Homo-oligomer: A and B are copies of this chain.
Amino acid sequence: MPPQGATAKVTLEVIKTACSNCNLQELCLPYGLNQMELAKLDELVSTRKRLKRGEHLYRSGQPFDSIYAIRSGFFKTDVLIEDGRDQVTGFQMTGELLGLDGISSEIHTCNAVALEDSEVCTIPFALLEDLSREIHTLQKHFHKVMSREIVRDHGVMMLLGTMRAEERLAAFLLNLSQRFTARGYSPAEFNLRMTRDEIGSYLGLKLETVSRAFSRFQEEGLIAVQQKHIRILNTPGLKKLMTH
């Protein structure tokens, strides 16, 4: 890439990093704020942080003082217990928040790891609380975001508690597809950022089971898999599998 091209790109990014100019407004915290309120939020969210694939954003046990909004990239969160067992508790993408679990005890209770090179906005939580006492809309939106996380977790509990392997994987693919769509990407074609093992951990399955389910979906013409590249060929078919 020619140097002037690179320079132009950097400049553009600097301009765009303000909340007031962020194209994630409708996904992230700033939802529904007016110009003045956005200006205040910009001040709050001044720090940004880049992470390389594989880097930890935070680790379980570390003191909590900020939550993070993903500007770009892809993360997983996982919890680890003494005896070595661990579980992926979620995958987070652009516009989603990380770190809400740390609010309760002021200590992070899980690890957040970048699954690709990523960038996050650091939101000091004490300041967010201050500002959300001033701005009603921000308060309301923040509460909704936390509550949505609870509802999402109930969905995962449902999945883990009542669904069979193929139903779980179908639900997982449809969920990813829907989230990519909401971000303007193709609903039918995407690259998985996580390994089969991580998918399995999230879905309460072993990696072999995940792999077999992928193969089976392919045989049945529901999807086309090639390593991490997924094309969904028959969305209704996947949905029917779920409700089965």
Contact = CB atoms under 8 A, between A and B. Distances in A.
Contacts of A79: 154, 158
Contacts of A243: 81-83
A208 interface: no
The number of chain A residues touching the other chain, given as a range, is 35 or more
A66 to B, nearest CB: 14
A244 B83 CA distance: 7
Contacts of A150: 100-101, 104, 146, 149-150, 153
Contacts of A136: 129, 133
Contacts of A157: 87, 89, 153, 156-157, 160
Instruction: Give the number of times this chain occurs in the complex, counting copies.
Output: 2
B162 A204 contact: yes
B147 A104 contact: yes
Contacts of A160: 157, 160-161, 204
Contacts of A85: 158, 162
A235 interface: no
A101 B154 CA distance: 9
B161 A201 contact: yes
A80 to B, nearest CB: 10
Contacts of A87: 157-158, 161-162
A151 B204 contact: no
A230 B24 CA distance: 52
A45 interface: no
A201 to B, nearest CB: 7
Nearest to A109: B151
A175 B148 CA distance: 25
Contacts of A109: 151, 154
A140 interface: yes
A237 to B, nearest CB: 16
Interface in A125-165: 129, 132-134, 136, 139-140, 143-151, 153-154, 156-158, 160-162
A162 B80 CA distance: 11
Given A87-B157, A133-B134, A156-B157, 12 more contacts: A87-B158, A89-B154, A89-B157, A103-B144, A104-B145, A104-B148, A129-B139, A129-B140, A133-B136, A146-B150, A153-B157, A162-B204
10 contacts: A81-B158, A82-B243, A87-B161, A101-B150, A101-B151, A103-B146, A104-B144, A104-B147, A129-B140, A143-B146
